[in-house]
Chain A
Amino acid sequence: MTQHSQGFFSRLMSSPEGRLAVICVAVFVLMAALSPDRFLSTQNMTSMAFQFPEFAILALAMTVTMLTGGIDLSVVGIANLTAIVAAMILTGATGSGDGTLLVMGAMAASLAVGMVAGLFNGLLVAKLGLPPILATLGTGLIFTGFAIALTGGSAIMGLPPAVAWIGNSTTFGIPTPLVLFVLLAVATSLVLTRTSFGVKLRMYGANPLAARFAAMDIDGMLIRVYVASGALAAIAGMVVMSRANSAKADYGSSYLLLAVLIAVLGGVNPYGGYGKIIGVVLAVLSMQFLSSGLNMIGVSNFARELIWGSLLIFVMIVNTRAARTR
């Protein structure tokens, strides 16, 4: 019996995701032990479930692009631009009904804007051959710039109450943002592992030259990746808009580096080719447990940054050590 469990544990510790699962559970247990009645309360659990989906969805977008060896630095710009477009539609046309239909329309419009923005990124990367980090840095500034120009830099408020459904309600007793994130994570994972598109995507990330010689339609694949990233960013934008009940050009600017950090912590290779959605989910959970738990024992917000950074570097050192000894 002990033999068996030891084998299981060493197997668990041999993959980055396994190690992350151990860290995630350890953080949870530690935080629960430090303040059991508050950390384990239903109230804390629901508040955490409302908090993390917005940046977790951005991390999914980042993961998809990183698998191809790229990166999408424009996700926050896209999220804010799409939220502002949606908010303008909503505030410009309120007055009739409770606005459910209108919210649907605005969501569709923002999703379309996100996908067009992603298409623009994809064309720059695939057709013009720009390095993704620079292409998306540039377009990120442009999207944010459009958002500033549309609003003059101020927040759009006074959204119809139906908007709250996306970010502030529960579906079957589960917070809607969490439901949304789970659906998106499962869908992304299925696309990455069960479709030829997903396999090609990782193949290209692992070895672009080999993928080219295998006569893959690389341009089409890259364009679809960035469109998907844009769509995910737009959904994250909707969640942020709904939770803040407003839209502004500079919301969530700290989410950009956080999304990169989560993807990398989740074991995604930023040079492409390797990464699992389960790793990203575990990384998100670890981060959220850490910040909520630390918050409860009275640690400042800034200490979280310190601990996130340390966690990232610690995990990277362990991962490279493990890769070398194997």
Chain B
Amino acid sequence: MKIDWTRNETLVALVILAFCLLGAASDPSFLSIATLTDLLRGGIVLGIFAVAAMLVLISGGIDVSFTAVAAFTMYVTAVVLNAAMPWMPWWGALGFGMVVGACLGAINGILIAGFGLPTLIVTLGTLSIFRGFMLTFIGQRQITTLPPGMREFGRMMLIRGENADGSFYNLHAAFLVTLLVVALTWFILQRTMLGRQIYAIGGSVESARRIGINVRGVQFFVYVYVGILAGLAGVIHSSMARVANPFDLVGLELSVIAAVVLGGARLAGGHGTLTGTVLGVTLIVLVRNSLVVLGIPATWQSVTIGALILLGTGLPAWQAKRAASRSAA
């Protein structure tokens, strides 16, 4: 297979590889199952968020409200199930979260597809609205006794084990959900007409409209789907944390978008791959979890992530600029 050095994916994969080699060189215990399970666990919620953010970027928009959708959904799910439906099994809780998320996503969808408002402004507004509504009318206190279904889901593990030094490692079953989300999204994007239409709209709305694509319908689908994913991620987050804290999650949105862009999705729309997104998330989680292994103090974590964003977006931008000036000359 020929390696394309100009692609973001290659660049990110190389940085991940270098990071792992350096990590292994400075601490032999870095290459262990515990590091891997930590990495996978860190990627569960972030991974679902990233897939959602990528889908919106591909369609030519930007969504900053998905963290608020997730926080809203997890809190409402915990409150409603506790109060009215404690018998709901774990899959029912996830399903309930998806429905709530879909409704919130539909609000974004109506404003964007129906009224034709700019995506950044709408989602900026709904971010405040969802969060404000939850904190004003539903509650501000964290819920430490989750409904039985969510507690049950929180205890589900795929693998469980003990390290040589006696500490435990485990991998949560929710990892399967993330895998499923990636697989389903891949199928939609690559194997259905709808997926190709999402790319087409991101490339050029006007061209898409002229070849007969129902632009509004596709946009509406994108925001509802993103709402479903965000709701799912919210319920998973609180099940894993064993608490529903309404102040969680909001504030992550720009880091998630950064991870996706690092993986090659473009803000201008029409570009983005799941491989790139997964690599971008991996890199961000790796930096968060194991920067200390490389001897970089935790206080420098955000400097490192910031520098990676500049590097990851700067190199392709610089290459494009050079190519453009060369062709002009």
- Listed in ascending order, the chain A residues whose CB lies under 8 Å from chain B are 73, 124, 128-131, 133-135, 137-142, 144-146, 148-149, 152-153, 253, 257, 260-261, 264, 270-271, 299-300, 302-310, 312-313, 316-317, 320
Contacts and interface: CB of A to CB of B under 8 A. Distances in A.
Contacts of A270: 118, 120-121
Nearest to B310: A138
Given A134-B313, A261-B124, A264-B124, A305 B132 contact: yes
Interface in B282-329: 297, 299-310, 313-314, 317-318, 320-321
Contact of B313 (A130, A305, A306, A313): A130
22 contacts: A129-B318, A130-B317, A138-B258, A138-B313, A141-B302, A141-B303, A141-B305, A142-B303, A145-B300, A145-B304, A148-B299, A257-B128, A261-B128, A270-B118, A271-B118, A302-B131, A304-B132, A305-B132, A313-B111, A313-B117, A316-B118, A317-B115
Nearest to A256: B254
A170 to B, nearest CB: 33
B251 A253 contact: yes
Contacts of A152: 299
B320 A129 contact: yes
Contact of B122 (A124, A129, A313): A313
Given A73-B254, A141-B302, A149-B300, A320 B115 contact: yes
Contact of B133 (A140, A271, A306): A306
A305 B254 CA distance: 19
Contacts of B128: 257, 261, 305-306, 308-309, 312
B136 interface: yes
B113 interface: no
A153 B299 contact: yes
B161 interface: no
A13 B297 CA distance: 56
A46 to B, nearest CB: 27
Contacts of B318: 128-129
Given A131-B317, A149-B303, A312-B121, A137 B309 contact: yes
A260 B261 CA distance: 21
Contacts of B125: 261, 309-310, 312-313, 316
Nearest to B111: A313
A131 to B, nearest CB: 5
Interface of B: 64, 111, 115-118, 120-122, 124-129, 131-133, 135-136, 140, 251, 254, 257-258, 261, 267-268, 297, 299-310, 313-314, 317-318, 320-321
Given A137-B254, A310-B129, A142 B115 contact: no
A309 B124 CA distance: 7
Q: By DSSP majority rule, is chain A's interface helix, strand, loop, or mixed?
A: helix
A145 B302 contact: yes
A121 B132 CA distance: 32
Given A305-B128, A313-B111, A313-B125, A141 B317 contact: no
Contacts of B136: 299-300, 302-303, 306
B306 A138 contact: yes
B313 A131 contact: yes
A43 to B, nearest CB: 26
B302 A148 contact: yes
Contact of B306 (A130, A140, A303, A310): A140
A306 B115 contact: no
A141 B299 CA distance: 12
A141 B121 contact: no
A129 B321 contact: yes
A130 B310 CA distance: 8
Central interface residue in B115, B121, B304, by most chain A CB within 10 Å = B121
A145 B301 contact: yes
A320 B112 CA distance: 12
B300 A316 contact: no
B159 to A, nearest CB: 33
Nearest to A130: B317
Given A135-B310, A145-B304, A152-B299, 17 more contacts: A128-B317, A128-B318, A129-B320, A137-B257, A138-B308, A144-B302, A145-B306, A149-B303, A260-B124, A261-B125, A302-B135, A303-B132, A303-B136, A306-B129, A309-B126, A309-B127, A316-B118
Nearest to A261: B124
Contacts of A124: 310, 314
A137 B313 CA distance: 11
A316 B306 contact: no
A320 B129 CA distance: 20
Q: 6 smallest A-B Cβ distances: which pairs?
A: A306-B132, A309-B128, A141-B306, A145-B303, A305-B132, A302-B135
A307 B124 contact: no
A138 B309 contact: yes
Contacts of B133: 306
Contacts of A146: 303
A305 B121 contact: no
Contacts of A133: 267
A261 to B, nearest CB: 6
A155 to B, nearest CB: 15
Contacts of B116: 320
Nearest to B253: A257
Nearest to B130: A309
Nearest to B120: A270
Contact of B121 (A138, A153, A310, A316): A316
Nearest to B324: A129
A59 B142 CA distance: 33
B254 A316 contact: no
A118 B298 CA distance: 26
A306 B117 CA distance: 19
B267 A257 contact: no
Contacts of B302: 141-142, 144-145, 148
